[in-house]
Amino acid sequence: MAKAKSVFYCTACGNESAKWVGRCPACGAWNTLQEHIEKPATPGKARSAPVGMSRRPQPLPEVDTDAQIRFLTGMGELDRVLGGGAVAGSLVLVGGAPGIGKSTLLLQICSCLCRDRTVLYVSGEESERQLKMRALRLGVDSDRLFVLSETRLSDVLESADELKPDILIVDSIQTMYHEENESAPGSVSQVKDCTMAMMQLSKAQGITVFVVGHINKDGAIAGPKVLEHMVDCVLYFEGDPNSNYRMLRAAKNRFGSTNEIGVFEMLDTGLAEVPNPSQMLLEGRPEGAPGTCVACVMEGTRPVLAEVQALVCKTTFNVPKRAADGFDFNRAVLLLAVAERRAGMKLSLFDAYINVIGGLRLDEPGADLPVVLAVASSYRDRPIDPDLAAIGEVGLTGEIRSVSQLGQRLQEVSRLGFKKCMIPKNNSEKLDIPVGLTVYRVRDLLEAIAVAL
Ligand SMILES: Nc1ncnc2c1ncn2[C@@H]1O[C@H](COP(=O)(O)OP(=O)(O)OP(=O)(O)O)[C@@H](O)[C@H]1O
Ligand SMILES: [Mg+2]
Ligand SMILES: [Zn+2]
């Protein structure tokens, strides 16, 4: 007979280790390891095959691919991040910090989903009355939307079995508990067991399950990281608590790309889609101030404009300080070194801070040039023309390298009303330059700085 095996999971990052340690070796968090007893499989009680699926191997061409397998949630920005709608029978985990709007998002999509589907919304956090009040505020009303305030997993599964909904929403996974498991709700082992049960339900009955997962920093409850490998799709809902804008991004997607972002604005009436994120990201941009430059990056299939700010000031330390927000730190340090060597700026005597406005993360090579230009602008204390955007990768010799989808980016730059754009000289793509846009093709950093400043 197999012995029960015990493993330890970090509630902050999901790292697995064989023995307990005070500090997680993967993420460095303290006291976040929790024990999880893996129950030995009982012979004869092996998991049966999901209903409606043949257990025999099938030749690939004979596997039935139903064209109806994807359906739209009615929130264009969510559908985009899911890869063109939700996939029937998939399990989607929506993670986010407290109060960011997870419940709002999932309740809001019900109004569209309920048009031709039945939805069961299970909440372990709110009563049915509270759910109704929220639904009224969001303008959601349908007799195909069923709400249930419940935390016991077996009751949730029973209700799902009775109602046979097309979509099940579980808010949140940390409040659910499995009776056979003695650990507290929210512990790694509960969260894993409950998610596994949801996974089986979705695969066996073709129900699409959305699960909310709280993220918390102190590791008291197990976060979505612990579950990432189990589910089909992991979406993170992020945003600055001081702003109404929210971004949804996929950390994992078995059925689509993870590059797409969805942008929303939180209003009294719920979340509104922001189909033109560039405009929002450029809102309130200071004009005529040194140390800012507009970038255009591809977020999945869509070009997005964002403002990069830089501040360089004489250092008072032995080693100059560097910080980057919304941009890779190591890349920033590298670009500062390139700017020092290839463009003659004495940056090693200066602290440098780089910040991308609006919560966007620029992790694409095309953002290199605007970062260096913002730094140069701050260094020389001269503003860049507010009508200019810049696109290009910066190489170690200071050369400006080509980027992909330049034509599409130029369209967006022009659409947002910019008159000038700096691009790499050697871009192989044949370009259709939008009317009214002047492009400056630059070979290296020296040329780029000469044009911009
Ligand atoms: N009555 C209201 N009027 C306007 N906005 C509201 C109202 N109630 C909540 N909100 C907005 O909705 C946000 C909370 O959204 P929601 O409850 O969907 O977040 P959540 O991520 O599910 O939070 P939790 O972690 O508490 O479950 C609040 O931050 C607030 O901005
Ligand atoms: Mg909630
Ligand atoms: Zn960890």
Q: Cα of 83 to ligand 3 centre, how many Å?
A: 29
Q: Are 9 and 119 in the same domain?
A: no
Helix (H, G, I), strand (E, B), or coil: what is residue 159?
Answer: helix
Atom 31 (ligand 1) nearest CA: 266
**Residue 17 domain flag:** yes
Model pLDDT, residue 52: 45
Ligand 2 centre and the CA of 24: distance in Å?
A: 28
Residues 6+ apart with CB under 8 A from 41: 2
Q: Report CA(234)–ligand 2 centroid distance (Å).
A: 17
Helix, strand, or coil (residue 440): strand
Residue nearest to atom 15 of ligand 1 (CA): 101
Residue 86's SS3 state is strand
With respect to residue 386, please indicate whether it lies within any of the assigned structural domains. Answer: yes
Are 285 and 300 in contact, with CB atoms under 8 Å apart?
Answer: no
- Taking the centre of ligand 2 as the mean of its atom positions, its distance from the CA of residue 103, in whole angstroms, is 4
- Are 114 and 142 in contact by the 8 Å Cβ rule? The answer is yes
For ligand 2, a single-atom ion, the residues with CB < 5 A are 103
Same domain, 284 and 271: no
Is 177 contained in some domain?
A: yes
My answer on whether 444 and 365 are in the same domain is yes
Closest ligand to the CA of 97: 1
Centre of ligand 1 from the C-alpha of residue 264, in Å:
14
Sheet with 33-38: list strands edge to edge. 16-17, 5-10, 33-38
**Which amino acid would we find at residue 401?**
R
Helix, strand, coil percent values for the chain (each to nearest 5): 30, 30, 45
Whether residue 408 is found in the same domain as residue 333: yes
Do 250 and 158 fall into the same domain?
A: yes
CA of 94 to the centre of ligand 1 (A): 15
The residue from 230, 258, 275 where one domain ends is 275
Is 47 inside any structural domain?
no
Q: Which bound ligand lies closest to the C-alpha atom of 239?
A: 1
Are β-strands 70-71 and 86-87 bridged in parallel, bridged antiparallel, or unpaired? antiparallel
Query: How far apart, in whole angstroms, are the C-alpha atoms of residue 193 and residue 153?
Result: 10
Quick one: 94 and 176 in the same domain?
yes
Q: Measuring from atom 29 of ligand 1, which residue has the nearest CA?
A: 99
Among the listed residues 159, 191, 189, 158, the one whose alpha carbon sits nearest the alpha carbon of residue 172 = 191
Which domain covers residue 242, as residue numbers?
Answer: 69-275
Q: Give the largest CA-CA distance in the chain.
A: 77
Length in residues, the chain: 453
Written as tens digits, the pLDDT of the chain (453 aa) is 556 778 888 887 778 888 888 898 888 888 888 887 776 555 444 444 444 444 678 888 887 766 558 899 989 999 999 998 999 999 999 999 888 999 999 999 998 999 989 999 999 999 999 999 999 999 999 999 999 999 999 999 999 999 999 999 999 899 999 988 888 888 888 899 999 999 999 988 889 999 999 987 665 667 777 888 889 999 999 887 778 889 898 989 998 888 788 999 999 899 999 888 888 888 888 888 999 999 999 988 889 999 999 999 999 988 999 999 999 999 999 999 999 999 999 999 999 999 998 878 898 999 999 999 999 999 999 999 999 999 999 999 999 999 999 999 999 999 999 999 999 998 777 888 999 999 999 999 999 999 999
151-175 burial, b at 16+ Cβ within 10 Å, e below that, comes to bebeebbebbeeeebbbbbbbbbbb
Query: Is there a domain that residue 52 lies in?
Result: no
390 and 377 within one domain: yes
Measured distance CA(112)–CA(133) in Å, rounded: 18
**Token pair for 334:** 């590298």
**Ligand 1 atom with the shortest distance to the CA of 104:** 18
Residue 365 CA to residue 32 CA, distance in Å, equals 36
Look at residue 58 and tell me if it is in a domain. no
**Contact between residue 338 and residue 345 where contact means Cβ atoms under 8 Å apart:** no
pLDDT of residue 54: 47
| Closest residue to atom 26 of ligand 1, CA basis | 99
Query: Pocket of ligand 1, candidates 75, 78, 94, 100: which has the most ligand atoms within 8 Å of its Cβ, to mutate?
Result: 100
Last residue of a domain, one of 275, 292, 315: 275
Q: Which ligand 1 atom sits nearest the alpha carbon of residue 98?
A: 25
pLDDT of residue 68: 59
**Domain with 350 in it: what CATH number?**
3.30.230.10
User: Quick one: tokens of 353?
Assistant: 């801070």
Residue with tokens 């200019």: 388
Ligand found nearest the CA of 267: 1
Residue nearest to atom 1 of ligand 1 (CA): 268
Q: What is the 366 CA–ligand 2 centroid distance (Å)? A: 37
Choose the final residue of a domain: 215, 248, 275.
275
Handedness of CA 219, 254, 60, 166 (dihedral sign): positive
CATH no. for residue 242? Answer: 3.40.50.300
Look at residue 56 and tell me if it is in a domain.
Answer: no
337 and 361 together in one domain: yes
Neighbours of 240 (CB within 10 A): 11
Q: Are 426 and 377 in the same domain? A: yes
Q: Do both 11 and 83 map to the same domain? A: no
Among the atoms of ligand 1, which is closest to the Cα of residue 268? 4
- The residue to mutate among 75, 103, 238, having the most atoms of ligand 1 within 8 angstroms of its beta carbon, is 103
What beta strand segments (E) does 269-398 contain? Answer: 270-273, 292-299, 302-314, 322-325, 350-356, 388-390, 393-394
Contact 119, 239 (CB under 8 A): no
- Bridge partners (DSSP) of residue 233 are 92, 253
Tell me what pLDDT residue 452 has.
Answer: 93
Minimum-distance ligand 1 atom for the alpha carbon of 96: 21
How many other CB atoms sit within 10 Å of the CB of residue 147?
22
Q: Which ligand is nearest to the CA of 214?
A: 1
Residue nearest to atom 7 of ligand 1 (CA): 268
Number of domains in the chain: 3
User: Is residue 46 included in any domain, yes or no?
Assistant: no
Same domain, 299 and 332: yes
Based on the domain organization, do 234 and 301 belong to the same domain?
no
Q: What residues sit around ligand 3, an ion, with C-beta below 5 angstroms?
A: 10, 12-13, 15, 24, 26-27
Q: State residue 238's pLDDT score.
A: 87
Q: What spacing in Å lies between the alpha carbon of 217 and ligand 3's midpoint?
A: 11
Ligand 1, CB cutoff 6 Å, lining residues = 96, 98-104, 125, 137, 214, 266, 268
Ligand 1 pocket test target in 102, 107, 130 with most atoms within 8 Å of CB: 102
Q: Whose CA is nearest to atom 30 of ligand 1?
A: 99
Q: Are 416 and 337 in contact (CB under 8 A)?
A: no
> What is the 3-class SS of 268-290, one letter each residue?
CCEEEECCCHHHHHCCCCCCCCC
DSSP string, 182-219: -SPTTSHHHHHHHHHHHHHHHHHH--EEEEEEE--SS-
So what's the pLDDT on residue 158? Answer: 94
DSSP β-ladder status, 350-356 and 302-314: antiparallel
Contact 204, 51 (CB under 8 A): yes
| Residue located via tokens 């602290």 | 351
pLDDT at 47: 43
